[in-house]
Structure 1
Amino acid sequence: MSLSNIFTISGSALTAQSMRLNLVASNIANAESATSSTGQPYRGRHVVFTAIPVSLDQPQVAGVRVTSVVEDTTPPVLKYDPANPLADARGYVNMPNVNPVEEMADMISASRSYQTNVEVMNTAKTLLQKTLQMGQ
């Protein structure tokens, strides 16, 4: 595998983690939204990654890919708020199934993964520059 393939692999990871960060931001933004465009409470969404292993036949396609975006299947959280116009007969409002603490932890993990891949690319760039300087 050539050193330049590292940029393809890390680039695919940057794209995947960027999408993960966007979904985390969307989940946090809607954590207190009692209703969505469908009339139901917002459901948290998460990305599913697929690893593409390095093969000797096609080393340029290795990396990671976002396979799908799935909705969280946990039930909505019931919040007692009888003054809310969306409250049911018992005074409960269905709130999103988003836990801001878990989302923040996921955001930190995605951010660190993104930063790590940027460092991999910087290291590969430095190695390529050093290789070019060897002949001087």
Structure 2
Amino acid sequence: MDMDRALRISAAGMAAQSARLRVVAENLANRDSTGETPGADPYRRRTVSFANRLDRATGTQTVNVARIGQAQGEFPKRFDPSHPAADAQGYVKTPNVDSLIEVMDMREAQRSYSANLSVLEATRGMLTRTIESLR
């Protein structure tokens, strides 16, 4: 049934965006997590990659999390010679997490989740009306 497919597709979209929100939350929670020893690397920002997947049972394309990776690039440095993770010059590597980017990712995930939820609710309503009309 096509409505069953719509429900599965929407549910897959919601699950993928939930994973994205979890990663955003982790990034924001660790944006101040530095290394513990001099010169040690701090927390590295995590990223989510999506891919479409064929659901063989229904013959539909759904979204899923392809992988959760790490953002590459240099770590910003902050001068703090009293910090336990400061190098010989007094600089501490800080995480490559930008709060502005994380908030933008969070809002995009929230909008996508809401859109999928709206499709799910509309489909459920159509199914309910169909069942009620058959009584």
TM-score w.r.t. the length of structure 2 is: 0.88
**Deviation of the 1:129 alpha carbon:** 1.6
Deviations 1:98-132 (A, max 9, x none): 00110011011111111111111000011112222
**Deviation of the 1:81 alpha carbon:** 1.1
**Deviation of the 1:61 alpha carbon:** 4.7
Aligned pairs (5 A) from 1:37-116:
39-52=40-53, 59-116=58-115
What are the ranges of 5 or more consecutive residues in structure 2 without an aligned counterpart? none
- Percent identity between matched residues is 34
Please, what is the CA RMSD of the aligned residues? 1.9
What are the ranges of 5 or more consecutive residues in structure 1 without an aligned counterpart? none
Contact in 2 for aligned 1:27/1:103 (Cα 8 Å): yes
**Deviation of the 1:74 alpha carbon:** 1.6
Secondary structure at the aligned position of 1:4 is classed as helix
Secondary structure at the aligned position of 1:62 is classed as strand
State how far apart, in whole Å, the 2-side matches of 1:95 and 1:86 are. Answer: 10
Report the equivalent of 1:132: 131
TM-score w.r.t. the length of structure 1 is: 0.87
Count of matched residue positions in the alignment of Structure 1 and Structure 2: 132
State how far apart, in whole Å, the 1-side matches of 2:31 and 2:98 are. Answer: 7
**Deviation of the 1:10 alpha carbon:** 0.7
Contact in 2 for aligned 1:78/1:94 (Cα 8 Å): yes
Contact in 2 for aligned 1:8/1:60 (Cα 8 Å): no
**Deviation of the 1:26 alpha carbon:** 0.4
